[in-house]
Structure 1
Amino acid sequence: MIDPRALQSRRKFLGGLAAGALAGGAAPKFLSATERNRIHALVRQTHQSANDQVQLAVVGAGGMGMADVETALTVPGVKLVAVADCFDGRLEAARERYGRDLFTTRDYREVLARDDVDAVICGTPDHWHKKISVEALRAGKSVYCEKPMVHSIAQGGDVVRAQNESGKTFQVGSQGMSSLGNEKAKELLAAGKIGELNYAEGFWARNDPIGAWQYAIPDDASEKTVDWEMFLGDAPRKPYDPLRIFRWRNYRDYGTGVSGDLFVHLFSSLHFITSSLGPRKIMAQGGLRYWKDGREVPDILLGMFDYPETDVHPPFNLSLRVNFVDGTSGTTFLRLVGSEGAMDVTWTEVVLRRNKAVSPTDVFSQRKADEMDQGIEARKQMLPPAESIYMVEDGYMGAHFDHFMNFFRGVRDGSSVNEDAEFGLRAAAPALACNDSYFGEQVVSWDPVKMEVM
């Protein structure tokens, strides 16, 4: 989750360490107590090569939609054949970028009707996610839908049913899900490296206009170049307003606020790492503190979540924060805290910190150790590393690439994906419930098994 540039100072420090030593095969080096760190490389062992070409289309050619396209096209055997968007400027930009023979249209239904389209990226505003995903699945297309999967919790069941009935591959585009960082954190938690999980926290900080969704308004945007009715879809009728289409995240009719945009990433990663189905109680507070530009959603939001005990994890609590007016940094993290240690997780790095080998609460073990030490000087112990660092190697293609690799593998061979519709709903629902809690000033109860608001 943290920008890889933030790792440069650490990489420079590590530059002198030999690869063989990192792998543990070199002669041991004795470290002082303050240097008891171990650095391990995170490696993607294999990537599936393309067996046959996947013909790709995108509906919603804005910033995230086209970022998805660019990443998807780095996967071997993927070709872009069609683009749909309600703004002519984006269609022209797509033709300039990918070729004049590219099929473009304002009407997404023309894309879904094409026989040469195997898979569709849904990169539209949130209020279109459910409709386009369901229609694409019913048209026999596999779907990569940007997060959150739906605009409201009530829409989730329709997407789950459409995926199950179609038999096609459906992946929610929370791009950090398939990262090496998440995979390593899942492995470490399952191995008991932090003991019993009791608390987790996540944080997104931004401090610039683009991060706060103040996107540029194209000079050529007008009622002639924008299909305003297509943009609105099922949303309430409003007169043409370029702010609503190009800064749609600020408006509840089209977006889902900071929780739907950012909390959902943290839920996706946390649920993947812990194998959790989600929280049962959700509460959010915050406010509009700085970006008073007509937006309808808060720029600071705090969420608290209660996770019940299940067969795969103990009960634990989660706190999440988003701050769009952070004057000190622009970063994000996810931290899992257990009875014997903690780990900070990003898409490219995991930092594991552990307590001493013997717990001070283990009275029996301590008493036996004291008995053995009577009359002699206690022998010094070999302590485990106080901190272990797992980071990706240079050349790692990134979490976004990994998520598309996971998607296209499913498209080609029918294998399961990391974030299907059920997983996507269980990640989206607590994020969307934060909006219900914030605007309704209430605690929301959620059944993560039945996927229903209680």
Structure 2
Amino acid sequence: MTTSSVTDLLAENESRRPMMQEHAGATRRRFLAALGAGAAGPYFLTSGALGAEGKAPASDRIQAGVIGTGGRGMALLGLHNYPQCKVVAVCDVYQPHMQRAQKAIGGSCDGVTDFRQILDRTDIDAVATGTPDHWHALLTVMACQSGKDVYCEKPLCRTIADGKAMVAATRRHGRVVQMGSQYRSMAHMRQFCEWMRNGRFGPIEQVRLSHACCPKAPVAPGGPPPADLDWDLWLGPAPWAPYHPSRCLFSFRFWMDYAGGFITDNGTHMMGVVSWAMGTDDTGPVAIEATGKEDPASMYDVPVEYTVRYEFEKPRFVMTWEQPGVGGLNMQFNGPQATVDGFFRPTLVKGEADLSPTRSSEIHLYESNDHFGNWLECVRTRKRPVYDVEIGYRVTSWSLLGNIAYLLGRKVRWDPVAQCFPDDPEANRLLQRPYREPWRL
């Protein structure tokens, strides 16, 4: 085939498958100076009953709590629609969001503003979290310590150190932790990645990821937080900052204290597909360099324009993140034999490829056709989910490494086995961020 949408063949193929506000320099200086505050110390669980580790729920129906019910968090309420799951409690530091979620579930669903009230409950088996990124690690580690399984929205973690702690807690307490990125539970993405893994498009030398520019927030005065928002708890482990509406809700994505820009947001979705296609779930890049430009007239401190270049060794290829890039949200795989273009619908636009069904002798990837359903099934079986915490950490780390290279303003070398920057103490200090007291990880 010379020009064919990968998805055009899916219905036929699936029937044959077996069922299974500062400029760049100022931002860099602020982050490098913040390292002097020291690293976070060990975390101590402040309260909560430690559950039986590695055990499946005792009842026939998984009882779940949802923490963070604004934006994507509302989608997590969809767990309640599964016959094997019942959402019995919701939590949000912003009372209108909590009350909206509580009303959506109805019945006897409890609503709280402090997530620890959910983790304390011995009748709750699992939690799903849709909080801002800077809360992901603490919530996941605390939930694991409380004997609860976790569905954590992407990106998995805010820092490399956070991601390592999440993996360690998951394994230590025998929990099931899934990263919420549905592309690994889409049939057409799985088929595309199987074709890639089996060499159907030939060797791939370059991968280009593109995205629109980050939005801007004009500098403006803030004001007191709403009376029904617990601003101190919203900040949690992040540095103290006065309330401003441009810091929270959807906008948290564009502050380094809470997230990392579009590269950690949608970039995690896209890099997850690249990793699946290229077979790099257990490794990462070996060199990263980044350039970018911030807007001094905007309150946000992530780059508006941003280019990151990653070098991989096993297999050998180069990946670039281009913001803005051609086509907005897009993904392109280039090699001497073929070019595949498109994120939502990868399409063969140049060359030839065998797009027949994956043969029994070829590589078959983990088959999940329902991301929530896969997690719930694994809560029962204790098997690892399709987007296990360790894979989620590895994929998320790519975007975090790009931000580190940007903050340093130079090329960095990364050891994906040791998971550190060899002989580079300045870069290694950026692998973690200090936690604001009393929060510890």
1:258-317, Cα deviation, whole Å (9 max, x unpaired): 22112222221111122212211111222235x9431111222211100013xxxx3111
- CA 1:56–1:400 in 2, change beyond 3 Å: closer, same or farther? farther
Question: Take 1:434 and 1:400, find their aligned partners in 2: how far apart are those partners?
Answer: 30
Structure 2 residue identity aligned to 1:321: E
Q: CA deviation at 1:140?
A: 0.8
User: Which of 59, 73, 78 is matched with 2:67 structurally?
Assistant: 59
Q: What is the CA–CA distance in structure 1 between the aligned matches of 2:62 and 2:93, rounded to whole Å?
A: 25
Match of 1:268 in 2: 272
**Residues 401 and 103 of structure 1, relative CA distance in 2, 3 Å threshold:** farther
Equivalent in the alignment of 1:41: 10
Q: Which residues of structure 2 form unaligned runs of 5+? A: 21-58, 218-223, 359-366, 423-441
Report if the CA contact (8 A) 2:254-2:262 is conserved. no
Match of 2:239 in 1: 236
Q: Residue 124 of structure 1 corresponds to which residue in structure 2?
A: 131
Per the alignment, residue 286 of structure 1 pairs with 292
Q: Deviations over 1:344-374 (max 9, x none)?
A: 3535x33235636xxxxxxxxxxxxxxxxxx
Deviation at 1:156, TM superposition (A): 1.9
User: Could you say which structure has the greater relative contact order, defined with CA pairs below 8 angstroms and 6 or more residues apart?
Assistant: 2
- Measured in 1, the distance between the counterparts of 2:369 and 2:75 equals 11
The residue identity in structure 2 corresponding to 1:40 is: L
Structure 2 counterpart of 1:361: none
**In the alignment, which of 395, 403, 414 is matched to residue 435 of structure 1?**
403
One-letter amino acid of the counterpart of residue 186, structure 1: C
Conserved 8 A contact 2:263-2:399? yes
> SS of 2:164's equivalent?
helix
Is this contact kept in 2: 1:130–1:159, CA < 8 A? yes
* Corresponding residue SS for 1:235: coil
Superposition deviation, residue 438 in structure 1: 1.5
TM-score (normalizing by structure 1): 0.72
**CA–CA separation in structure 2 for the residues paired with 1:264 and 1:389:** 28
Instruction: Indicate the SS of the match to 2:155.
Output: coil
TM-fit CA distance, 1:226: 0.7
Structure 2 Cα separation of the partners of residues 147 and 95 of structure 1: 23
Residue in structure 1 matched with residue 320 of structure 2 by the alignment: 319
2:308 is matched with: 303
What is the distance in 2 between the residues matched to 1:299 and 1:188? 35
Give 3-state SS (helix, strand or coil) of 2:169's partner: helix
Note closer, same or farther for the CA distance 1:34–1:193 as it changes in structure 2 (3 Å cut).
Answer: closer
1:322 Cα deviation after fit: 2.9
Say if 1:67 and 1:37 are closer, same or farther in 2 by CA, change over 3 A: closer
CA contact (8 A) 1:282 1:430 kept: no
Residue 445 in structure 1 maps to residue 408 in structure 2: no
- Deviation string 1:396-448 (CA, Å, 9 cap, x unpaired) is xxx99722222122111112212222212211112012111112201222222
Alignment of 1:54-453 (within 5 A): 54-70=62-78, 72-99=79-106, 101-205=108-212, 212=215, 222-246=225-249, 247-276=251-280, 277-288=283-294, 292-309=297-314, 314-323=315-324, 331-344=328-341, 346-347=343-344, 349-353=345-349, 355=351, 402-453=370-421
1:146/1:427 Cα in 2 relative to 1: closer, same or farther (>3 Å)? same
The 1-side partners of 2:298 and 2:368 are apart by: 31
Looking at structure 1, the residues matched to 82 and 340 of structure 2 have their Cα atoms a distance apart, in angstroms, of 31
Deviation at 1:453, TM superposition (A): 3.2
Structure 2 CA distance for aligned equivalents of residues 199 and 52 of structure 1: 48
Higher gyration radius (CA): 1
Change in CA separation of 1:36 and 1:183 when aligned onto 2, cut-off 3 Å: closer
Aligned-pair CA distance for 1:158:
1.0
Cα pair 1:56 1:81 within 8 Å, conserved? yes
Secondary structure of the 1:452 match is coil
Point out where structure 1 has 5 or more consecutive residues left out of the alignment.
1-32, 215-220, 357-383, 391-398
Question: SS of the counterpart of 1:411?
Answer: helix
- Residue type of the alignment partner of 2:62: V
- Note the alpha carbon deviations across 1:232-266, whole angstroms, 9 max, x for none: 11222223333323322222221222221122222
- Alignment TM-score, normalising by the size of structure 2: 0.74
Q: How far 1:137 sits from its partner (Å)? A: 0.8
CA distance in 2, matches of 1:436, 1:402: 34
SS in 2 for 1:442: coil
Q: Structure 2 vs 1, CA of residues 354 and 115 (structure 1 numbering), >3 Å: closer, same or farther?
A: same
Residue identity in the other structure for 2:64: L
Q: What residue identity is the alignment partner of 2:145?
A: R
Which structure: greater strand fraction? 1
| 1:76–1:304 Cα change, 3 Å | farther
3-state SS of 1:259 partner: coil
Work out the percentage of aligned pairs sharing the same amino acid: 29
**SS at 2:284's partner residue?**
coil
Residue by residue, what CA displacement relative to the aligned partner does 1:24-75 show, whole Å, maximum 9, x if unpaired?
Answer: xxxxxxxxx9888894124487888xx94222211111101112323x3444
Residue 294 of structure 1 aligns to a residue whose secondary structure is: coil
SS in 1 for 2:184: coil
* Structure 2 Cα separation of the partners of residues 47 and 404 of structure 1: 18
Following TM superposition, by how much is the alpha carbon of 1:213 offset from its aligned partner in structure 2, in angstroms? 8.3
Q: Displacement, 1:161?
A: 0.7
Q: 1:213 to 1:47 in 2, by over 3 A?
A: farther
Question: Is 337-346 or 152-161 further displaced after alignment?
Answer: 337-346
